[in-house]
């Protein structure tokens, strides 16, 4: 391709030449190269700025991702704590349910026991009513009013014997030193005479009443070589000796008599002195207001 001449024709000598360089100085080429380099530098600065922006965005995204991860970890910890609390609450609920079930069972058991106790009480009341009716029909155990019973308090005038009223009861106190001075359970002749005289008075005023024979002692040690293991055994032995004498040597019947030994449980005075201990050593004949069942008079 040639260069177009002044008159519009082609110059064959310039075929293949795009820009004629003849007459051009080198500074033109320098300018062109500077322009090219300037464009490249501007492109590099733009790219560098874009790279920095991308790095900043990446850093921001990294921070955001870290914060999201921290929040996720915190939520996970919260969930774990809530799971633990929930498990504990479930365990407490189960324990409470077990306690409620146990309390219900106890309540049911107590309810059954109460119902059974009421039934037993009703049955016992029915038996008592039936027994009372039967006894009243047979005239075996009439109960006397307290005032009339107290009016019949025997006026015994026997040495060492005292009589006192104890509510519905009459207590006749006999000195243990007269009956059993050796505390060996053996009745002395003087004690036997005293018992016979007391029995005569009782039979005169209370021939059919129940009579309790109670042995009492002061708070003392047992005699050396005593066969009794305790004061209760000794007091009971003395009461049994009185029972044998009254049941066999007086008009009183064995079915009227009841025996008990109380040891030193019921002192009349302090046991701090020998006189008090001697005073508390006694046999009490307790006359009850009801009459004893008469054997041989028929069965209930």
For 84-100, the pLDDT digits (tens) are: 999 999 999 999 989 89
CA-to-CA dists, residue 138 to 88, 142, 297, 300, angstroms: 73, 10, 9, 9
State both tokens at 132. 């009372």
The boundaries of the domain holding residue 130 are: 29-138
Residue 175 domain-assigned (yes or no)? yes
- The confidence band for 126, taking pLDDT boundaries of 50, 70 and 90, is low
Residue 299 domain-assigned (yes or no)? no
Does pLDDT of 209 surpass 90?
yes
- Give how many domains the chain has, as a whole number: 2
- The confidence band for 124, taking pLDDT boundaries of 50, 70 and 90, is low
Co-location of 118 and 222 in the same domain:
no
The three-point CA angle 291-294-297 to 5° equals: 135
Judge contact between 197 and 204, C-beta under 8 A. Answer: no
CATH number of the structural domain spanning residue 197: 3.30.1330.60
| Backbone dihedral angles phi then psi of residue 169, each to the nearest 5 degrees | -105, 160
Co-location of 89 and 155 in the same domain:
no
Coil, helix or strand at residue 284:
strand
Strands 257-261 and 209-216: parallel
More confident: 107 or 295? 107
Co-location of 66 and 123 in the same domain:
yes
For 213-258, the pLDDT digits (tens) are: 999 999 888 878 888 889 999 999 999 999 999 999 999 999 999 9
Co-location of 284 and 151 in the same domain:
yes
Measured distance CA(193)–CA(199) in Å, rounded:
10
pTM, 2 dp: 0.50
DSSP letters of 233-278?
HHHHHHHHHHHHHHHHHSS--GGGEEEEE-TTSS-SS-SSSHHHHH
Does pLDDT of 12 surpass 60?
no
Neighbours of 268 (CB within 10 A): 14
Co-location of 244 and 165 in the same domain:
yes
User: Which residue in the block uniquely carries the two structure tokens 């004061």?
Assistant: 231
Co-location of 181 and 125 in the same domain:
no
Co-location of 264 and 159 in the same domain:
yes
Alpha helices in the chain (DSSP H): 26-138, 146-151, 176-179, 189-205, 231-249, 274-280
% of the chain at pLDDT higher than 90: 39
Co-location of 197 and 259 in the same domain:
yes
Give Dmax (Cα) for the chain.
192
Average pLDDT over residues 254-277: 94
Which stretch, 37-41, 153-157, 188-192, has highest mean pLDDT?
188-192
Measured distance CA(188)–CA(242) in Å, rounded:
11
Co-location of 166 and 118 in the same domain:
no
């Amino acid at each position: 391709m040639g260069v177009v001449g002044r008159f519009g024709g082609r110059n064959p000598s310039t075929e293949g030449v795009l820009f004629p360089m003849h007459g051009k100085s080198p500074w033109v080429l320098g300018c062109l190269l500077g322009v090219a380099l300037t464009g490249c530098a501007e492109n590099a600065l733009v790219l560098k700025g874009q790279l920095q922006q991308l790095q900043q965005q990446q850093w921001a995204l990294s921070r955001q991702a870290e914060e999201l991860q921290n929040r996720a970890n915190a939520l996970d910890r919260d969930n774990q704590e809530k799971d633990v609390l929930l498990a504990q609450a479930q365990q407490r609920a189960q324990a409470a349910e077990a306690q409620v079930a146990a309390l219900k069972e106890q309540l049911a058991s107590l309810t059954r026991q109460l119902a059974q106790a009421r039934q037993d009480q009703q049955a016992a009341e029915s038996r008592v009513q039936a027994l009372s009716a039967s006894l009243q029909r047979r005239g075996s155990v009439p109960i006397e009013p307290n005032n009339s019973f107290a009016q019949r308090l025997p006026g015994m005038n026997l040495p060492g014997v005292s009589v006192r009223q104890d509510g519905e009861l009459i207590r006749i106190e006999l000195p243990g030193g007269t009956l059993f001075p050796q505390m060996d359970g053996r009745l002395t002749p003087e004690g036997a005479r005293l018992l016979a005289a007391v029995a005569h008075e009782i039979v005169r005023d209370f021939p059919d009443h129940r009579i309790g024979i109670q042995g009492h002692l002061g708070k003392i040690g047992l005699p050396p070589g005593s066969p009794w293991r305790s004061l209760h055994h000794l007091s009971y032995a003395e009461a049994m000796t009185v029972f044998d004498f009254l049941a066999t040597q007086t008009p009183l019947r064995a079915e009227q008599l009841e025996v008990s030994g109380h040891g030193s449980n019921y002192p009349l005075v302090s046991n701090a002195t020998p006189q008090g201990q001697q005073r508390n050593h006694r046999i009490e004949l307790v006359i009850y207001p009801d009459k004893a069942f008469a054997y041989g008079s028929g069965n209930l």
